[in-house]
Amino acid sequence: MGFATDVIHAGQPPEPATGAVAVPIYQTSTYVQEGLGRHKGYEYARTHNPTRAALEANVAVLEGGVAGFAFASGMAAIHAVMTACLKAGDHVVVSDNTYGGTYRLFERVLTDFGLAFDYVDASDTEQVVAALRPTTRMVFLETPTNPVMRLCDIAAIAQAVRPQGIHVVVDNTFMSPYFQRPLTLGANIVVHSTTKYLNGHSDSVGGVVIVTEPEVAARLAFVQNAAGAILSPMDAWLTMRGIKTLVVRMQAHDANGRAVARFLREHPRVARVYYPGLPEHPQHALAARQMTGFGGMLAFDVGDLEAARRVLESLKVFALAESLGGVESLACHPATMTHASVPPAERQRLGITEGLVRLSVGIEDIADLLADLDQALASL
Ligand SMILES: Cc1ncc(COP(=O)(O)O)c(C=O)c1O
């Protein structure tokens, strides 16, 4: 089936008892059993829930994997991948301006359990290869990276490290499977914060993992049940409902994202725009090859903290908020908000300056978004 058909139908046949076209919210903690050892495949809702299972089947198809797993947040999903695939003594190479919460989980939680992490500029495949150790078991990539929109070449990295039995995990939150399908490029695990584009309506927190190998699927199913950080039936249902419109939303985010990037590039008060869809983006060619669109995430630099504050506090349609990927436009200040947990020297090195403003461009009327940015920049 085509992608636009799969977002609506994959994993969601009409409910057999009534024919309901929407998967019901099975809000139950347990299931009646017919006799000892005789049941319908459902024993306890941490282990199995039909609403969650429908979402998991759906995302597995969208990313092209063999199985999907839904968790209570994107961070819970990432944590499950690490505990399912790694053990004390293992080493992980990470793309260096990955989401601040991921960095915090790795550095301030998982290092206490004997895992070691190295952060490299993964836009240069050679740096990933150079960082490998005999104990490296995983390469963890985010592309494009948040917030300066740097890419890494998923196919080249997978080709270089997969033959050594190293897992390649891609956080595909920013692009969604509509614009980027890492498993088709050679990665073997994809994670998402469904809180963002997959759900798309800023009304649920969740995460998913999609895998390509049955052994990894079995291990993740075990960890999902053993640690229990499952997505609730209500959130699974909301996320499924959101995914049904993924195609039309992503097309609208992309069109508005391109228009906002072009507008900011021409604006005299904007020093720099970070958007992979602009021809001057250093990795525009890779972006055009690896992704089928450029999406609605971008960042721009207005010089210093005071200027960023003025712009952010003058915006009226763009709301000042963390998070991204919803239908409404949001603006944030990475240095003091999303990336506050990254040490200042590291932030400086990554280009996360005090004057940097990040936008999650929503799907409102583009004329309103441009007028809002225009009046906010006029405050400078
Ligand atoms: C790229 C990326 N990955 C993972 C996460 C974590 O997801 P959650 O907030 O759902 O735990 C985020 C959150 O902002 C993110 O931007």
Other beta carbons less than 10 A from residue 280's beta carbon: 9
Q: Find out whether the beta carbon of 63 lies less than 6 Å from any atom of ligand 1.
A: no
DSSP state of 44: B
Rounded to whole angstroms, how far apart are CA atoms 123 and 208? 25
Q: Compute the distance from residue 205 Cα to the ligand 1 centre, in Å.
A: 9
Q: Which fold has domain 246-378?
A: Aspartate Aminotransferase, domain 1 (3.90.1150)
DSSP state of 376: H
Q: Compute the distance from residue 281 Cα to the ligand 1 centre, in Å.
A: 24
pLDDT for position 265: 98
> Which residue's CA lies nearest to atom 10 of ligand 1?
74
Is residue 189 within 8 A of residue 212, CB to CB? The reply is yes
Phi, psi (5° rounding) for residue 289? -85, -40
CA torsion 219→225→226→231, rounded to 10°? Answer: 110
Q: Compute the distance from residue 73 Cα to the ligand 1 centre, in Å.
A: 8
Is 99 in the active site? yes
Among all chains, which residue has been given the structure tokens 């995914």?
A: 243
Other beta carbons less than 10 A from residue 7's beta carbon: 27
Q: Can you give the residue ranges of every domain in the chain?
A: 3-243, 246-378
Is 196 in the active site? yes
Give one DSSP letter per residue of 189-209, joined into a string.
EEEEETTTTTT-SS----EEE
> Which residue's CA lies nearest to atom 12 of ligand 1?
193
Angle at alpha carbon of residue 74, lines to 69 and 78, rounded to 5°: 70
Q: Compute the distance from residue 379 Cα to the ligand 1 centre, in Å.
A: 32
pLDDT for position 190: 99
DSSP state of 380: -
Which amino acid is it at 228?
A: G
Task: Pick the closest to residue 294 from 182, 174, 184, 198 (CA basis).
Answer: 174
Is residue 332 within 8 A of residue 321, CB to CB? The reply is yes
Which amino acid is it at 59?
A: V
Q: Find out whether the beta carbon of 204 lies less than 6 Å from any atom of ligand 1.
A: no
For 3-243, CATH gives: 3.40.640.10
pLDDT for position 277: 98
Is 137 in the active site? no
pLDDT for position 280: 96
- Structural tokens at position 357: 């403003």
Select which of 52, 137, 150, 196 is catalytic.
196
Angle at alpha carbon of residue 224, lines to 222 and 225, rounded to 5°: 65
190 to each of 37, 108, 294, 299, how far by Cα in Å?
Answer: 35, 23, 19, 24
> Which residue's CA lies nearest to atom 15 of ligand 1?
99
118 to each of 48, 96, 101, 107, 221, how far by Cα in Å?
Answer: 36, 8, 16, 10, 28
Select which of 171, 254, 301, 372 is catalytic.
171
> Which residue's CA lies nearest to atom 16 of ligand 1?
99
Is 171 in the active site? yes
Rounded to whole angstroms, how far apart are CA atoms 103 and 371? 36
pLDDT for position 121: 95
Exposure string over 14-26, b if 16+ CB within 10 A, otherwise e: eeeeeeeeebebb
- Structural tokens at position 41: 């495949």
Select which of 26, 52, 99, 181 is catalytic.
99
Exposure string over 305-318, b if 16+ CB within 10 A, otherwise e: eebbbebbebbebb
DSSP state of 280: T
Is residue 57 within 8 A of residue 65, CB to CB? The reply is no
Choice from 180, 193, 323 to test ligand 1 binding pocket (greatest atom count within 8 A of CB)? 193
Divide the 380 residues of the chain into consecutive groups of 10 and give the mean pLDDT of each group.
97 94 97 95 96 98 98 98 98 92 95 98 98 98 93 98 98 98 98 98 98 98 98 98 98 98 98 97 98 98 97 98 96 91 84 96 98 97
Q: Find out whether the beta carbon of 173 lies less than 6 Å from any atom of ligand 1.
A: yes
Give one DSSP letter per residue of 115-142, joined into a string.
-EEEEE-TTSHHHHHHT--TTEEEEEEE
- Reduced to 3 states, what is the DSSP secondary structure of residue 357? strand
